[in-house]
């Protein structure tokens, strides 16, 4: 069984029933705009979900749990938008996620893409996510507006990692093509990178993330470093349950930030570890997690590396041992 087949075999047997008229979630959080910390409105729209998750999926991504074969109709998407607009309080940053690609016309029709974008045209930043496959002139042309930013999950700047560790639908050259097109049009790019896809030691994961940050900085206005968290029906979940995977240490997140931030100038580097401090997310020993997470959050908002000064805990030595020995991860795990 190859990696693509294995990931596919772990999907839920039957898709869940969804209410197509309700967004998956909405909330307000902090983000930045024009150098200030501001409120951000986050909206997760219910769509058919990621086409790649439906075909195979990435090793760490649980979006298959939100995916289904049938598209959501424009009428129901309009109702979701109306519900969102009722909650929207003019936050300066608006982030719209779909458990897939906003720009995939099979998830959101081109007409609704424009309708949603225009509804938030007065925000300072309007951020959507997309795979590079959908970042084309034809798709972008009607949607483009001054505040549009597109986030692409590159995950790693290594094709080998994309193929063997992440099972990504595209390769680095596809990201570069999309990034260059966006740069020509004047659309800001936010890049998501993974910290510690499966089948890597902690040390290899840090090195891969550092290389990837330096690479993505050439194209991005912002880079989000996303430590892996364990989501159901994923390959990472299966490995974790078998004791063959540990999410990254929070010390590793800081290590990558400290090593790369001084090299990337004005490019913003952020990290919001999902499930941070929990066994299913990036974590340390349990005693220091809260303080370390707080410092990472503060760094993400301020870009000030001094927030890490003085952070310490006895578990740093354990983490250093892991880096030296590849312990807890140094297993050989191959799919034939």
Q: Which of 71, 132, 153, 198 binds ligand SF4 (CB under 6 A)?
A: 153
Is the CB of 41 or the CB of 251 nearer to Zn ion?
251
169 touching ligand SF4, by CB under 6 A: yes
Residue 273 touches which of Zn ion, ligand SF4, none (Cβ within 5-8 Å per kind): none
Cβ neighbours around 262 below 10 Å, total = 9
Is the CB of 32 or the CB of 169 nearer to ligand SF4?
169
| Tokens (6 digits) for 9 | 């075999």
Whole-number Å distance between alpha carbons of 326 and 202? 7
The helix/strand/coil state of 42 is strand
Size of the site for Zn ion (CB under 5 A): 6
103 touching ligand SF4, by CB under 6 A: no
Is the CB of 190 or the CB of 196 nearer to Zn ion?
196
Whole-number Å distance between alpha carbons of 162 and 230? 18
| Tokens (6 digits) for 70 | 């049938």
Q: Which of 40, 43, 61, 270 binds ligand SF4 (CB under 6 A)?
A: 61
Residue 57 touches which of Zn ion, ligand SF4, none (Cβ within 5-8 Å per kind): ligand SF4
Listed ranges 11-19, 142-150, 276-284, 293-301: which one lies at the site for Zn ion (CB under 5 A): 276-284
CB of 29 to Zn ion, least distance (A): 26
193 touching ligand SF4, by CB under 6 A: no
| Tokens (6 digits) for 152 | 């692409």
Q: Classify burial at 105, counting beta carbons within 10 Å of its beta carbon; exposed 0-12, middle 13-18, buried 19 or more.
A: middle
Which residue reads 């690609």 in tokens?
Answer: 101
Residue 197 touches which of ligand SF4, Zn ion, none (Cβ within 5-8 Å per kind): none
Residue 63 touches which of Zn ion, ligand SF4, none (Cβ within 5-8 Å per kind): ligand SF4
Cα–Cα distances in angstroms (integers) from residue 155 to residues 9, 136, 223, 286, in the given order = 22, 20, 10, 27
Residue 153 touches which of ligand SF4, Zn ion, none (Cβ within 5-8 Å per kind): ligand SF4
57 touching ligand SF4, by CB under 6 A: yes
Alpha-carbon torsion 61, 63, 65, 67, what sign?
negative
Site string for Zn ion, 61-80 (x = CB under 5 A): --------------------
Q: Which of 71, 100, 248, 281 binds ligand SF4 (CB under 6 A)?
A: 100
CA 258, chain centre distance (Å): 20
Is the CB of 153 or the CB of 227 nearer to ligand SF4?
153
The helix/strand/coil state of 48 is coil
231 touching ligand SF4, by CB under 6 A: no
295 touching Zn ion, by CB under 5 A: no
Outline where 145-285 has alpha helix (H).
159-161, 172-185, 202-216, 235-241, 250-260
Residue 178 touches which of Zn ion, ligand SF4, none (Cβ within 5-8 Å per kind): none
Whole-number Å distance between alpha carbons of 116 and 114? 5
* DSSP annotation string for 251-308: HHHHHHHHHHGGGSTT-EEE---TTTTSTTSS--SSSSHHHHHHHHHHHHHH--GGGG
227 touching ligand SF4, by CB under 6 A: no
Listed ranges 11-19, 26-34, 53-61, 310-318: which one lies at the site for ligand SF4 (CB under 6 A): 53-61
Q: Which of 40, 43, 50, 117 binds ligand SF4 (CB under 6 A)?
A: 50
CB of 327 to ligand SF4, least distance (A): 28
Residues in the chain: 336
Interface residue list for ligand SF4 (CB under 6 A): 50, 52-53, 57-58, 61, 63, 100, 131, 153, 169
């Amino acid at each position: 069984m190859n990696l693509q087949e294995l990931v596919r075999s772990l999907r839920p047997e039957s898709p869940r029933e969804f209410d197509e008229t309700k967004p998956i979630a909405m909330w307000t959080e902090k983000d930045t705009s024009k150098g200030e910390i501001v409120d951000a409105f986050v909206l997760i729209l219910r769509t058919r979900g990621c086409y790649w998750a439906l075909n195979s999926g990435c090793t760490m991504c649980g979006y298959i749990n939100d995916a289904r074969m049938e598209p959501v109709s424009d009428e129901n998407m309009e109702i979701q938008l109306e519900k969102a607009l009722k909650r929207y309080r003019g936050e300066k940053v608006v982030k719209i996620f779909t458990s897939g690609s906003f720009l995939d016309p099979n998830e959101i029709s081109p007409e609704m893409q424009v309708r949603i974008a225009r509804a938030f045209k007065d925000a300072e930043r309007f951020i959507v996510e997309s795979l590079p496959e959908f970042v084309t002139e034809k798709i972008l042309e009607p949607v483009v507006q001054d505040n549009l930013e597109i986030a692409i999950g590159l995950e790693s700047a290594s094709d080998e990692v994309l193929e063997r560790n992440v099972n990504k639908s595209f390769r680095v050259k596809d990201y570069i093509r999309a990034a260059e097109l966006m740069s020509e049009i004047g659309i800001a790019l936010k890049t998501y990178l993974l910290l510690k896809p499966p089948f890597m030691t902690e040390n290899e994961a840090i090195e891969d993330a550092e290389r990837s940050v330096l690479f993505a900085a050439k194209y991005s206005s912002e880079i989000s470093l996303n430590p892996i968290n364990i989501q159901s029906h994923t390959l990472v979940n299966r490995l974790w349950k078998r004791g063959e995977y540990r999410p990254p240490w929070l010390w590793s997140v800081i290590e990558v930030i400290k090593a790369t931030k001084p090299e990337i100038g004005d490019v913003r580097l952020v990290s919001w570890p999902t499930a941070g401090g929990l066994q299913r997310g990036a974590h340390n020993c349990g005693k220091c997690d809260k303080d370390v997470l707080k410092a990472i959050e503060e760094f993400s908002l301020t870009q000030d590396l001094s927030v890490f000064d003085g952070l310490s805990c006895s578990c740093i030595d354990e983490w250093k041992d892991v880096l030296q020995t590849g312990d807890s991860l140094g297993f050989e795990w191959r799919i034939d």
